[in-house]
Structure 1
Amino acid sequence: MAKIVFGMCVPHSGMLGQAPEDWLNNGERDRKNPELWYRNRTWSYPELEAERKAAFEPFLTIEERTERAGRCRKALDEMAEAYKRAAPDVVIVLGKDQKEIWPDQSPSITVYTGEEVHNGPPQRPVYAPDHHVVHQAYPQLATYLIETFQEQGFDLNDLQAWPQNTWMASRQGYAPDYPVVPHAYSFVYHQIMGDQVPRHVPVLFNLFYPPTQPSMARCIQFGRVLRDAIEAWPEDVRVAVIASGGLSHFVNDEEFDRRVMGMLASYDYDGLAAIPNGYYQSGTSEVKIYSIVMMALQHTGAEMTLVDYIPCWRTAAGTGEGMGFMYWDPAVTAASKKEAA
């Protein structure tokens, strides 16, 4: 029978691929955004700066940015090492499409049942190697998951072939003759797996775009069904569940992030579900799929390892991204308990 042996939640921000000298470049985009989500409502940039009293100006120096960029790189390396140590045979990768492959539709939850996943240019270097690579998916497991979820009251979209990545083609100026995977997945393949990707099932959630966003409560339910389905899969394989995205962005909210991380560490599903949905909007919506990892690992007794949390700012109003790096490894938990005894 399959066994869940590892879980991970990792940000996939483009800032992680930028030199600290370039971190402020997207600040102009934030200043022009009329709907910055922060604490259950939208704000214009002037409103946000007035509300937060431009308190984040001291964190915009090149010294601050360099120190935080270094911590992010160190945390990513440790996350990749933790994944390598766990040595899973199969991975469930949870992410989303951000109008990259579906500019005109937003399916709520989708499972990819095709054979292959493509990565490479025109994805930026933080997301892909400098050449075309093909990774093997796991259509048999993917189809089984859809059938299992259907039996449990979920109606899922079956993605049988990747569409062309129109967003990357428009941004980078050309379209390759292969369908580049959305960045939520390519980041995991490249930064965590080092382009050595095992059989895996990509699951896409519409986290950004109303009205088909699954709620936090629905994602928690998804995690329960996923856990039970994996444990019932007859193949003798070691399975990892990885969520790509989060924490708070594009308005960075350190207080909220630390509250959420505390709930994740304590398996507090009720607390996560009780947070108003207005907090889980824009990029912060990616936190919803963290609950799936938490649900998948709870029965193993694993404790959350928080590698680091680094708020990364790009304007005085506190826009930017909260970078939280965390994983669950039952073997690490068992070893630490044995050492403590």
Structure 2
Amino acid sequence: MAKIVFGMAVPHSGMLGQPPEKWLENGARDRQNSELWFRNRTWTYPELEAERGAAFELYLTLEERTARAQRCRAALDEMAAAYRRANVDVVIVLGKDQKEIWPDQSPSITIYTGAEVHNGPPQRAVYAPDRHVIHQAYPELATYLIKAFQKEKFDLNDLQAWPDNVWMSERQGMKPGYPVVPHAYSFVYHQIMGDTVPPHVPVLFNLFYPPTQPSMQRCIEFGRVLREALIAWPEDVRVAVIASGGLSHFVNDEEFDRDVIGKLASYDYDGLAAIPDGYYQSGTSEVKIYSIVMMALQQTGAKMTLVDYVPCWRTPAGTGEGMGFMYWDAEKNS
């Protein structure tokens, strides 16, 4: 029987690959965004500035940005080390497509049942090595999981081959000769696994785009079914479940982030589900899949290790990204 031994929730922000000198350049994009999600509604940047003032100006100095970038780098290094220590055989990678491969559709939940996953240029260096690499997926386990979810009244999309990464060809003007995986996955392969990727199953959630977004409660239920299916998988393998994304962005909400971290640490599913869905929008929607990791690990007795929480700011009104680095090691706490 398979044994779930490790879980992780890690951000995949492009800011993690930028020198702190360039962080404020992202603020120009935020100022033009007419739908900045913050606390259950959308705001224009002028509205946000009127609400929050310039309260975050003190965090925008180069010294402050450099210190926070260093903390993020140290946290990522510790996350990668924790993953290596877990010595897993198989990984379930939870993430999303941000109109990178599906510009015209938004399947609610998808499991990739193909055999190969491609990464490499023109993904940015934070997401990929400087060469084309092919990682092995796990079609047998993926197909088994789809059948297990069908028995529990989940109707899932079966992705049998990766489409072309149209975001790269249309937005970046580059068309690689292979289907580059969305950045939520490539970040994990490159930054956490060091491009040495075991057999794994990518699971894609439509977290960003109404009306087919799974709710927090649905993600929690997904975690229960995933856990039971993995435990029943007859292979003698050590399994990790990794969620890629979050915390609050593109408006930082430190109070919300710390509340969510506390609920994750205490396995407070009811508390997470009680938060209005309007809080789980835009980039903050990625928090939903954290609940799947915690559900998968709960029965092991694992305690959450919070490596660091680093709000990274890029405008005086508080846009930016909340970087939370946390993992669950079933054997560390046994």
- String of CA shifts for 1:24-65, please: whole Å, max 9, x gaps: 111011001011000000001011011111100110000000
Q: Single out whichever of 177-186 and 163-172 deviates more from structure 2.
A: 163-172
Please give the secondary structure, in 1, of the residue aligned with 2:6: strand
Indicate the residue corresponding to 1:41 in structure 2.
Answer: 41
Indicate the residue corresponding to 2:93 in structure 1.
Answer: 93
TM-score (norm 1): 0.97
Deviation at 1:122, TM superposition (A): 0.7
- Is 1:121 the counterpart of 2:117? The answer is no
Identity %: 83
Equivalent pairs, count: 334
Query: How far apart, in 2, do the equivalents of 1:177 and 1:53 lie?
Result: 47
- String of CA shifts for 1:256-288, please: whole Å, max 9, x gaps: 000000000000000000000000000000000
- String of CA shifts for 1:193-248, please: whole Å, max 9, x gaps: 00000000000000000000000000000000000000000000000000000000
Please give the secondary structure, in 2, of the residue aligned with 1:73: helix
Please give the secondary structure, in 2, of the residue aligned with 1:333: coil
Indicate the residue corresponding to 1:237 in structure 2.
Answer: 237
Deviation at 1:14, TM superposition (A): 0.1
- Is 1:14 the counterpart of 2:14? The answer is yes
Deviation at 1:176, TM superposition (A): 1.1
Please give the secondary structure, in 1, of the residue aligned with 2:322: strand
Off by >4 Å, runs of 4+ in structure 1: none
Deviation at 1:74, TM superposition (A): 0.1
Deviation at 1:331, TM superposition (A): 1.4
Indicate the residue corresponding to 1:4 in structure 2.
Answer: 4
Query: How far apart, in 2, do the equivalents of 1:222 and 1:84 lie?
Result: 26
- Is 1:62 the counterpart of 2:27? The answer is no
- Is 1:142 the counterpart of 2:142? The answer is yes
Letter aligned with residue 282 of structure 2: S
Gaps in structure 1 of 5+ consecutive residues? 335-341
Query: How far apart, in 2, do the equivalents of 1:200 and 1:62 lie?
Result: 39
CA RMSD of aligned residues (A): 0.5
Query: How far apart, in 1, do the equivalents of 2:261 and 2:284 lie?
Result: 13
- Is 1:163 the counterpart of 2:163? The answer is yes
Please give the secondary structure, in 2, of the residue aligned with 1:332: coil
Letter aligned with residue 143 of structure 1: T
Query: How far apart, in 2, do the equivalents of 1:241 and 1:314 lie?
Result: 31
Please give the secondary structure, in 2, of the residue aligned with 1:284: helix
Please give the secondary structure, in 1, of the residue aligned with 2:240: strand
Deviation at 1:169, TM superposition (A): 2.1
Deviation at 1:173, TM superposition (A): 1.9
Deviation at 1:155, TM superposition (A): 0.2
Deviation at 1:174, TM superposition (A): 1.6
Letter aligned with residue 279 of structure 1: Y
Indicate the residue corresponding to 1:218 in structure 2.
Answer: 218
Indicate the residue corresponding to 1:257 in structure 2.
Answer: 257
Letter aligned with residue 323 of structure 1: M
Please give the secondary structure, in 2, of the residue aligned with 1:331: coil
Indicate the residue corresponding to 1:184 in structure 2.
Answer: 184
Query: How far apart, in 2, do the equivalents of 1:74 and 1:239 lie?
Result: 25
Query: How far apart, in 2, do the equivalents of 1:84 and 1:297 lie?
Result: 18
Query: How far apart, in 1, do the equivalents of 2:167 and 2:117 lie?
Result: 17
- String of CA shifts for 1:129-163, please: whole Å, max 9, x gaps: 00000000000000000000001000000000000
